[in-house]
Amino acid sequence: MLVLGIESSCDETGIALYDTDTGLLAHRLHSQIAMHTEYGGVVPELASRDHIRRVLPLTETCLAEAGKAIADVDAIAYTEGPGLAGALLVGASVANALGFALQKPVVGVHHLEGHLLSPLLAEPAPQFPFIALLVSGGHTQLMAVRGIGQYELLGETVDDAAGEAFDKSAKLLGLSYPGGPQVSKLADTGDATRFKLPRPMLHSGDLDFSFSGLKTAVLNLVKKEQQEDGTLDDATRADVCAAFQEAIVDVLTRKCLAALKQTGMKRLVIAGGVGANRQLRAGLDDAAKRRRFEVFYPPLALCTDNGAMIAFAGAMRLKYAAADYQFGVKPRWDLASLPAA
């Protein structure tokens, strides 16, 4: 079965072709980050206007790369939610009309299920059950995953997502939107021991996270260390980044360990944009060796939003694909409400 995947939930248009026999055939991504940078954040209306220009050209590129025609597609998967309603509707409209034209079934995919299952696209793929840390600009969740659609939420952030804390701290440090990746880059050159930042909720006794206090601590540090012109010198800025990243990685790592201990599971899966963070990967790899568990990551290119994870998750849910073409989107959608596949 050849599945076309369409992702348009936020600021990236992702298209992919996944074959249930031979695997991922092609995937393409268009990021809108440059467009939104001038506005200091994602403008939903502009995001939607861009998606509608990108979906078909990216689809054509994927088809050409895979040596397939649109008529070869057996089913179409699209991100039904959660996300920006107007942006989701673009992918949903094209996907359903394509299904209608080709008389092929269409399946709406939960964006976070896409992320959650994306490590299954890597080699070696993890076996169920596993603990999943879903960590991105919009989410920080720990889940027990016992099968497709069998997700138990163990803990989540009570305020900012980890990626959001990166971006907000970047802003406080005078780095332009979206500054998270720049914080990581500067952190590599900084001294993490010069400043000590708090590890919020590390001893809360549960698996929840909180990152807004860390952001406030960064703000206070910036105020204290700033020069007369209100900026930080480069070395100080790098040191703050290093301390900040170490704090986040420390909290994420220790909560993952607690989740493994609590459930007795031996496999950990990391998904979402922050999963590309090098220090996080190093910290988890190190812990995995010491504590004897396995850790799995999606291929680096599939850490951000992408179409491959949507095509793959759709392929896992073909029994829910329908051909009534009566579509809608779910800007808010609880992952735990999904049926087992």
Q: Which residues bind other proteins (CB under 8 A)?
A: 38-40, 43, 45-46, 48-49, 52-53, 55-57, 59-60, 70, 85-86, 89-103, 324-329
- Helix%, strand%, coil% for the chain, nearest 5: 45, 20, 35
Give the Cα separation of 319 and 341 in Å (integer).
Answer: 8
Nearer to other proteins, 85 or 158 (CB): 85
In the chain, the N- to C-terminal Cα span, in Å, equals 17
Shortest CB 72 distance to other proteins, Å: 12
The response to whether 277 counts as a known ligand-binding position is: yes
Nearer to other proteins, 73 or 295 (CB): 73
| Closest residue by Cα to residue 101 from 325, 328, 326, 327 | 325
Nearer to other proteins, 53 or 278 (CB): 53
The response to whether 136 counts as a known ligand-binding position is: yes
94 near 307, Cβ under 8 Å? no
Shortest CB 245 distance to other proteins, Å: 25
The response to whether 111 counts as a known ligand-binding position is: yes
The response to whether 180 counts as a known ligand-binding position is: yes
Nearer to other proteins, 133 or 329 (CB): 329
Q: Kindly report the number of other CB atoms within 10 A of residue 199's CB atom.
A: 15
Shortest CB 103 distance to other proteins, Å: 7
The response to whether 115 counts as a known ligand-binding position is: yes
**218 contact partners, CB below 8 Å, separation of at least 6:** 169, 172, 173, 197, 240, 244
Shortest CB 60 distance to other proteins, Å: 6
Task: Match 């939960």 to its residue by tokens.
Answer: 110
Residue numbers in the known binding site for Fe cation are: 111, 115, 305
